[in-house]
Amino acid sequence: MTRVLQAARGWIGTPYLHQASVRGAGTDCLGLIRGVWRETCGAEPEAIPPYSRDWSEPEGEELLWRAALRHLVGKPLAQAAPGDVILFRMRDRSVAKHLGIQGNLAPHPTFIHAYSGHGVVESPLSAPWARRVVARFAFPQMTGPEGQED
């Protein structure tokens, strides 16, 4: 199991709380990624401004996708690996605004995400979810305290 996946599974059971990012207390899907970043990479790379539930929809801007490209490593969709960050478009022609972390691969793929009304859960990456995936990213390789890659 990768460090990222292990960290993400440590958030399972955290209640859903919009704009939060505190393991065990509350998080949303972006907060989950931020928290796993802090646990595996260190300080967050940029401050997150307050955001509404419909953020970036009125303008149609792919703000979350652009932020992921700034800080994560883009990957082809077909190259799934445990610990990948997955970006979802929840409706056709809307902005991509849900995030998860790849858990298990085939034959029973899963992903960890903060889901409104459910908290952080590990869900099957079933066909309805899989068809909404629009991008896949890896956390950057970080160097541990002795110069070893994690």
The residues with which 119 forms a beta bridge, in sequence order, are: 115
The two three-digit tokens of residue 37, written as one number: 């970043």
Domains, in order of start, for the chain = 3-138 (3.90.1720.10)
Question: Of 120 and 54, which is predicted with more confidence?
Answer: 120
Model confidence, pTM? 0.90
Residue/partner pairs of 38-41 with CB below 8 Å, 24 or more apart: 39/7, 39/10, 40/3, 40/4, 40/7, 40/139, 40/142, 40/150, 41/139, 41/140, 41/142
Specify the residue for token string 């704009």.
19
Residues of the chain above pLDDT 70, percent: 91
Nearest-angstrom CA–CA distance, 13 and 16: 9
Q: Give 72: exposed, middle or buried? Use CB within 10 Å, 0-12, 13-18, 19+.
A: buried
The mean pLDDT of 84-97, rounded to a whole number, is 92
Structure tokens belonging to residue 45 = 């790379």
Give the pLDDT band of residue 127 (cuts 50, 70, 90).
Answer: very high
Q: pLDDT digits over 25-79, tens only?
A: 999 999 999 999 999 999 999 998 888 777 666 677 898 999 999 999 999 999 9
101-115: pLDDT as tens digits: 999 999 999 999 999
